[in-house]
Structure 1
């Protein structure tokens, strides 16, 4: 007969043989004895904790003809057929490979037929979270109101992926991880039945690696038996699992507590050469430090967790805060392992950092810090720095108030802004912005002089606007996104170049609020001017204008300069009167000209 893996050979056949899930098995047994069988069950929990085994035992018990206190007899024809997988009324479906709508529809069509051999037709759907949303929807109505002879048992390791509509139609049972002691006890029972010798320390290592999963524990045990068939010994368990010897971990922990980095590194490197992994060493150190902390706090109880005779005496005088530091630092190192291929480096960095005399207490949890400690040491210096910074803020605020009341001096290179209310001028020095950040100054509003100066500046751009300059600016516009910061890119998104002359460019802003933000952000304007010059190999001054004012400014310009510009067009000049219209035959400009000058206008291509 072919060899059968231990986890298959020793799969539980009764509820009493299921390990670590007594609450669930007792509930299922009582439901069978009392005849209160629900139509749908949902078994959820980590892998290898008995979900599928309980589903099979429950399905077998529902169809058993000779129940024994809620347990299947395992002797009747139905039980024997169920154990062999030949029971026609018990159907196991793997949702990972049968997750479509068609498979569920087939189940829905067949549930109406009565069972052929037993009392119930039982559908066990394993890994039910793998079903598609369409399959879940197809299952909903049948799952809620199936025929009286049908029972659904759904099993999943990822409950969060199961729709709430499915969960609400079932009785949910949450399987928990199996305790390490229960895992060891079950492995001892199996090895005794198989008449194989073993060491208790080896089984403890296997149980720790299994992390609460019985199937994982038996798989590792099976692997160990393949390595050495006659016995299960401690050294082989360490070799197969990649764990370090417990006594070596105790030595490393003592070296860390004594802040002996050289000894800790030497011991850890030796264990790595013997086959241990960095992750397992860190896991064992965390487990050992936690146990040591509990022993210190519990006045020396549970000393049997340690192998060294004098280990408890050596750690008795270590303060609890030291353990908190080690555990926090080890957890950080475990997290770093996920982001590097050099698995040894985070371990070595942890060993050196945790033995550093000047290690800060930042890694301590909040519970480990007392209120008195927060007012001593470096915190006193921190309070002094905060006081000094507050004073600097007050001084800068006073200086800013004084400077903002002084008149603004003009400079050679300027950026002009059109205010959304009355289009006044605001000038910012580009030359000075390289050396010193310009100060924000109040804008001049509702003055006739400022309005005239501003319109002259805008008209100057429109009079000399060219198609070539505007196309050049629009071509580099996407490139500007890659060199600006996130906040600056947000401002750039609401700006659009609408007219450009050989030395200036008019940009309209979509929203008044963003126009004000852009106008006040001298750093942004300086950066934008500089980047435009880099990409276009040409210097442009920037004129900002709100979108709502741009149409009025352009219309006024056409009214006052329309005839002159039309004359230039007839002569073949390359200037564009409305910068937003970069093509000669722009319909909008043509319509504007007709509105202004009537039928006297002749348009020639």
Structure 2
């Protein structure tokens, strides 16, 4: 009799045999026991995780003569007929090769006929995402409201390609990747039942290389059995899967930590001569450093290690390597792995990565003890300078505060206008000079805005010229804070003077004064002018000095004199 592959011989025949999918099998078993099976199911997930096997088990269970049961008996004529394919009412269709509208229409026409042998007619459509849009549309109505004796089971590895109108009509179950521990347990059971001799570590290597698929794991185990003589050893598993032994990874890891480029490159060259796959090598090296990181940070999670064997070399390397170094190693290797996907010279990228790993840490760790000592001395000197500065600042503050105590207290509330300059301007102030500035005040604001100085022009919104002489003018501010901000901004003063010079044709200086201070200074100036006029004349003046000053400020045409 022709030899059958292990994955065919040991295909699950009950839900208990479906490994790593308890969330699916438990739900289906409960539905079978309570007879609450639905008319359409969608099984999605990676390859080799048991989707088609679960579909066939479900088809047997709903048609089992011992229903309701949570597992098919695999003994009644219905179960045996479905297992050997002699029951015509369980139809398995490969959508990859039957993806046209005509095939689906044929199903739609035949679905109304009652089953011949078993209670339910079950359609298992594998790789359903390969159906065309027309085929999906032809399936829609039948899938939503099939006859009571029909069950549809759709299986796919790419559920995102299935229209939502199909998914919404099905009860969906997502199959997960099977863990390495579950795969090892299943392979150990199969090997024991088949009389195969093996090393425990060999099964772990095969399980990790399977990538979460039980079918892939059994195929690799089949290949390893054919390659070995009497017992499946670790070397057999490494050869079949293309993986790298931990002894080589320990050597390369030690060379990277010791900055030994020649040792790292020569070990890699030896692996290539043995026919190892470069893609598998860099993946193994990433997982190796990952296991070191987990062992170093969480040693109690030994079962989480992907490929590491806790030998003496591994544990010693985990003690001396720093966590930050592991982060850098994994990051560099991960970037190299991404770059390798787009080149035909992947080997060169790995060699460059090994050199980079050996040299990167040497650059960071190149500070010797002398340099460290020099840095510490500089830090100490800087700390002493800071202490001295703080001490001197206290002395200066005390010295500066002593004369202030002896002097008469001076008001420091807010901004103090330049009274002397204001009085000088008032002595020569004329109405014509004031009108000249007021007439071009709008042009000044626009010029400031055009120069992207909107914040400065905003200070002049509540300001206005109050008095002007031929060479200067007084700018009255409504708010003291605006006056302070304007007069303390030397750049603002220079630009304003420059713009005014361009507008009026002569250089004008200005002095700012808050409105409340302006009223006091103006009244005091008029009062002093009046007193000076009375003391300076021996006879009665012909003209009232207050009236003269008022005329000078606002112009004679705006003043009406009443006795």
What TM-score, normalized to structure 1?
A: 0.58
* 1:315 and 2:318 matched: yes
Q: Please, which runs of 5 or more residues in structure 2 have no aligned partner?
A: 365-450, 452-563
Tell me which residue corresponds to 2:328. Answer: 325
Runs of 4+ in structure 1 displaced over 6 angstroms? 358-361
Alpha-carbon distance in structure 1 between the residues aligned to 2:82 and 2:230: 33
> Once the two structures are superposed, what CA deviation does each residue of 1:32-67 show, in whole Å capped at 9, x if it has no partner?
100111110000000000000000000011101024
Distance of 2:180 and 2:301 partners within structure 1:
19
Matched residue SS, 1:35: coil
Contact 2:114 2:121 in 1 (8 A): yes
Shift of 1:358: 6.4
CA distance in 1, matches of 2:300, 2:50: 36
Paired position in structure 1 for 2:537: none
Q: Distance in 2 between matches of 1:187 and 1:207?
A: 9
What residue in structure 1 maps to residue 140 of structure 2? 140
Task: Give the corresponding residue for 1:64.
Answer: 64
Q: Is the 8 A contact 1:91 1:123 kept in 2?
A: yes
Deviation at 1:359, TM superposition (A): 8.1
Deviation at 1:310, TM superposition (A): 4.3
CA-CA distance at 1:229 after TM superposition: 5.4
Q: Which residue of 2 aligns with 1:280?
A: 280
For 1:306 and 1:43, the matched residues in 2 are separated by 36
Deviation, structure 1 residue 313: 3.2
Secondary structure of residue in 2 paired with 1:70: coil
Q: 1:340 aligns with which of 330, 343, 360?
A: 343
CA RMSD of aligned residues (A): 1.8
Rounded to whole Å, the distance in 1 between the matches of 2:346 and 2:263 is 20
1:198 deviation in Å?
0.5
1:352 aligns with 2:379: no
2:503 corresponding residue in structure 1:
none
- Report if the CA contact (8 A) 1:32-1:62 is conserved: yes
The 8 Å contact of residues 243 and 275 in structure 1, kept in 2 or not, is answered as no
> 1:55 corresponds to which residue?
55
Return closer, same or farther for 1:335/1:349 CA change in 2, 3 Å cut-off. Answer: same
Residue matched to 2:260: 260
Query: CA 1:102/1:73 → structure 2, altered by over 3 Å: closer, same or farther?
Result: same
Match of 1:24 in 2: 24
2:44 matched to which residue of 1? 44
Q: Is contact 2:104–2:135 with CA below 8 Å preserved after alignment? A: yes
Q: Matched residues in 1 for 2:193 and 2:318: separation?
A: 41
The structure-2 alpha-carbon separation of the partners of 1:301 and 1:137, relative to structure 1 and needing over 3 Å to count, comes to: closer
Shift of 1:291: 1.2
Given that 1:296 and 1:316 are in contact with CA atoms closer than 8 Å, whether structure 2 keeps it comes out as yes
Distance of 1:76 and 1:56 partners within structure 2: 15
1:82 pairs with 2:89 = no
Shift of 1:300: 6.3
Contact 1:31 1:37 in 2 (8 A): yes
Could you say what secondary structure the match of 1:75 adopts? coil
What secondary structure sits across from 2:342 in the alignment?
coil
Counterparts of 1:252 and 1:188, CA distance in 2: 32
Contact residue 202 and residue 232 of structure 1 kept, 8 A: yes
Aligned to 1:243: 243
Q: How does 1:414-453 map to 2 (within 5 A)?
A: none
SS of equivalent to 1:235: helix
SS in 2 for 1:355: helix
Instruction: Tell me the residue number matched to 2:158.
Output: 158
Alignment of 1:146-545 (within 5 A): 146-228=146-228, 230-299=230-299, 302=302, 305-357=308-360
Give distance in 1, aligned partners of 2:349 and 2:189: 40
Contact persistence 2:63–2:78 (CA under 8 A): yes
Contact 1:242 1:277 in 2 (8 A): yes
**Quick one: distance in 2 between partners of 1:314 and 1:331?**
21
- Aligned-residue offset at 1:308: 2.3
Unpaired runs of 5+ residues, structure 1, are 362-400, 402-605
**1:261-288 residue CA offsets vs partner (Å, 9 max, x unmatched):** 2221121211221221111111111111
Q: In the superposition, relative to structure 1, how do residues 176 and 360 fare at CA in structure 2: closer, same or farther (>3 Å)?
A: farther
Please state how far the C-alpha of 1:251 moved relative to its aligned partner. Answer: 2.2
* Aligned-partner Cα distance in 1 for 2:162–2:111: 22
Query: 1:559-603 CA distances to partner (integer Å, 9 max, x unpaired)?
Result: xxxxxxxxxxxxxxxxxxxxxxxxxxxxxxxxxxxxxxxxxxxxx
Distance 1:125 1:360 in 2: 59
TM-score (norm 2): 0.62
Q: Distance in 2 between matches of 1:308 and 1:339?
A: 36
Deviation at residue 343 of structure 1 after TM alignment: 2.7
Residues 39 and 9 of structure 1, relative CA distance in 2, 3 Å threshold: same
Alpha-carbon separation, structure 1, partners of 2:107 and 2:98: 11
Q: Distance in 2 between matches of 1:272 and 1:44?
A: 38
Counterpart-to-counterpart distance in 1, 2:194 and 2:201: 19
> 1:181 Cα deviation (Å)?
0.8
Query: Which structure carries more helix by proportion?
Result: 2
Q: CA deviation at 1:342?
A: 2.1
Contact 2:325 2:361 in 1 (8 A): no
> Matched residue pairs, number?
362
